[in-house]
Amino acid sequence: MIPPTLPQGPRTVPRLTAVATAPGAVLLATWDDGRRDAVDLSGWLESGHPHFHRLRDPALFATAALADATTVEWGGDEDLAIDSLNLALLAEQQRPFGAAELAAWQQRLELSNQEAADLVGVHVNTWSNYRTATTPVPRVVAIACRAVVADPLLFAAHYRPRRPGRPPAAAE
């Protein structure tokens, strides 16, 4: 088992080629690699600086435009903006996390089914149901999995390796 590590060096700043808006504070982002994301900014608007509460107004939100390849502005106001790195991070967190992503996460961390289930606090049968898509992966499990990869200390604090073989006999 190799614990996750933080990326070395600075993260590459993602570049945008286009933005548009959709109802419900959703920003449609097109990246220079061709990927497209529908990023729901409602949580960002509410939890950020009160200055951004102005973007609750659908007419103002609809004015989103690229200031450059790394910045989205609203109403031409450079103080009313989000950078492409934060937008990309929000998009990553909002992407689907189903059975395939769960299996890839488990493989990346080299965890057994039991270790993975223990790490997120579910029964191993429940974990197996997530992996086979019998049961959808709950949002809280997806959040926990993503957080463990992002923060190696969080992983180290909660990971309990399983040793092969039968557990020792109980003391009499």
- Pick the last residue of a domain from 76, 94, 112: 94
Tell me how far apart the alpha carbons of residues 128 and 113 are, in angstroms, rounded to a whole number: 7
Mean pLDDT, residues 35-53: 91
Indicate if 86 and 132 belong to the same structural domain. no
Whether 3 shows a pLDDT value over 70: the answer reads: no
Indicate if 21 and 88 belong to the same structural domain. yes
Indicate if 83 and 104 belong to the same structural domain. no
**Residue 84: per-residue pLDDT:** 96
Tell me how far apart the alpha carbons of residues 112 and 161 are, in angstroms, rounded to a whole number: 9
58 lies in a domain? yes
Query: Could you please report the per-residue DSSP string of 34-101?
Result: S-EEEEE-HHHHHHS-GGGGGGGSHHHHTT-EEEETTEEEETTEEEEEEEHHHHHHHHHHHS---HHH
Q: Name the pTM for this structure.
A: 0.80
Q: Total domain count for the chain? A: 2
11 lies in a domain? no
Whether 4 shows a pLDDT value over 80: the answer reads: no
Tell me how far apart the alpha carbons of residues 61 and 158 are, in angstroms, rounded to a whole number: 41
Q: How far is CA 110 from CA 30, 122, 127, 167, in A?
A: 33, 18, 15, 21
38 lies in a domain? yes
Indicate if 22 and 80 belong to the same structural domain. yes
In contact, 58 and 51? CB cutoff 8 Å: no
- Pick the last residue of a domain from 73, 94, 115: 94
- Pick the last residue of a domain from 94, 113, 137: 94
35 lies in a domain? yes
**Residue 51: per-residue pLDDT:** 85
Quick one: pLDDT band at residue 106, thresholds 50, 70, 90? very high
- Portion of the chain with pLDDT greater than 90, in percent: 78
Tell me how far apart the alpha carbons of residues 20 and 22 are, in angstroms, rounded to a whole number: 7
Domain range for 25: 16-94
User: What are the pLDDT digits (tens) for 112-164?
Assistant: 999 999 999 999 999 999 999 999 999 999 999 999 998 989 999 999 998 77
Indicate if 103 and 89 belong to the same structural domain. no
Indicate if 88 and 104 belong to the same structural domain. no
In contact, 101 and 139? CB cutoff 8 Å: no
Tell me how far apart the alpha carbons of residues 82 and 70 are, in angstroms, rounded to a whole number: 9
**Residue 167: per-residue pLDDT:** 61
